[in-house]
Amino acid sequence: MSNRHEVIVRSGFRGLRYVDGRFDQVLEPGRYRLPARRYPGQRLPRVDVVPVDLRERELNIKGQEILTADKVAVRVNIITHFRVVDPVAAIEKVADYGDRVYSDVQLAARRSLASMTLEAILTNRNQLSEDILRDVEGVSAGYGIEIIRADVKDLVFPGNLQDIMNRVLTAQRMAEAQMVEARTRADREALEANSKADSERVAAQARVESTRLAAEGDAAAQRIRTEAEVDALRRLAEAAEAYAQHPALLRLRELETLGALGTNAAARLYIGFDKHSDGVA
């Protein structure tokens, strides 16, 4: 609040102080006293304080019909967020900075849409918003305004074109879904093929290892048999040598063998005797 002798600049605002119509200074938030007459008839300068809102503001630009590069008429709705960063420039350089932001964003949208085909707009709406923002932010800085965002909210097409585009988009989604399904099937088949190849490789390795172990087992068994046969032959050789040196041992061995055979009822013994007739052998 203010009276005839003071003015208050609220937080979030700046006050532009004018003296006799000339800009004097920027007032920060606070309370300021205005010049007052000290005696009757005293002439005082005319002091005005213009408040400028520095808070972020939203501006809706609706129903702008624009032709694309391929001559399709579309209606576009744009939401713009901006704020005053230089209150002096915003008041001194343009008559109404809100109207100026509106027209600048509108023209930037027309330029951007006119350079894009309908397909490009549909597939990359973010690019349209970025182009509008890039086009307008440098211009707005010249009159003290920062454009924070310029988002394309809606795109409206003629009725018949809307139906066509809906069918096109549906076909595109179906094609994308089929592509994803085909890719998934190919990945699954590749995984199954790799798994089968791994299984076969493991089985082949197991067969090779089994064959190797079997071969090693056979070789070890053969080696044991050979060693046993050699040991038996060695024992026979030692026994033969002992019998040759001690014939009585051989005779004893023969008697033991005859005794063992005598216990077997099925055994048949044939003993040869020398025949002597008339003293002639």
Q: Where are the domains of the chain?
A: 6-37+44-53, 56-158, 160-213
Question: What integer pLDDT is reported at residue 106 of this predicted model?
Answer: 92
Lowest-confidence pick of 124-128, 158-162, 184-188, 236-240? 158-162
Query: CA-CA distances (angstroms) from residue 19 to 34, 240, 256?
Result: 11, 146, 152
For the chain, give the mean pLDDT: 82
Which of 57, 54, 56, 58 has its CA nearest to residue 153?
58
Q: Strand 73-84 relative to strand 57-67: parallel, antiparallel, unpaired?
A: antiparallel
Average pLDDT, integer, range 105-111? 91
Name the pLDDT band for 168 (thresholds 50, 70, 90). Answer: low
> What is the percentage of the chain residues whose pLDDT exceeds 70?
83
**Residue 74: is its pLDDT beyond 60?**
yes
Tokens describing residue 88: 């002096």
Query: CA-CA distances (angstroms) from residue 205 to 186, 194, 198, 199?
Result: 28, 16, 10, 10
Q: Is 68 exposed, middle or buried (0-12, 13-18, 19+ CB in 10 A)?
A: middle
The most confident of 2-6, 141-145, 201-205, by mean pLDDT: 141-145
For the full predicted model, state whether its pTM sits above 0.75: no
> Going by C-beta distance under 8 Å and a sequence separation of 6 or more, which residues neighbour residue 21?
46, 48
CB-CB neighbours of 196 under 10 Å: 10
CB-CB neighbours of 267 under 10 Å: 10
**Residue 279: is its pLDDT beyond 80?**
no
Residue 51 C-alpha from the chain's centroid: 51
Higher pLDDT, 52 or 160: 52
Domain 56-158 indexed as CATH 3.30.1300.10: no
Q: Which amino acid is at 265?
A: A
Q: How far apart are CA 132 and CA 114, in angstroms?
A: 12
Torsion angles phi and psi, residue 128, rounded to 5:
-65, -45
Question: What integer pLDDT is reported at residue 277 of this predicted model?
Answer: 47
**Residue 160: is its pLDDT beyond 90?**
no
Give all strands (DSSP E) within 38-177, no chain letters.
47-53, 57-67, 73-84, 145-156
Q: Which helix (H) or strand (E) holds 4?
A: none
Tokens describing residue 112: 């951007």
> Going by C-beta distance under 8 Å and a sequence separation of 6 or more, which residues neighbour residue 230?
none
> Going by C-beta distance under 8 Å and a sequence separation of 6 or more, which residues neighbour residue 23?
16, 17, 88, 92
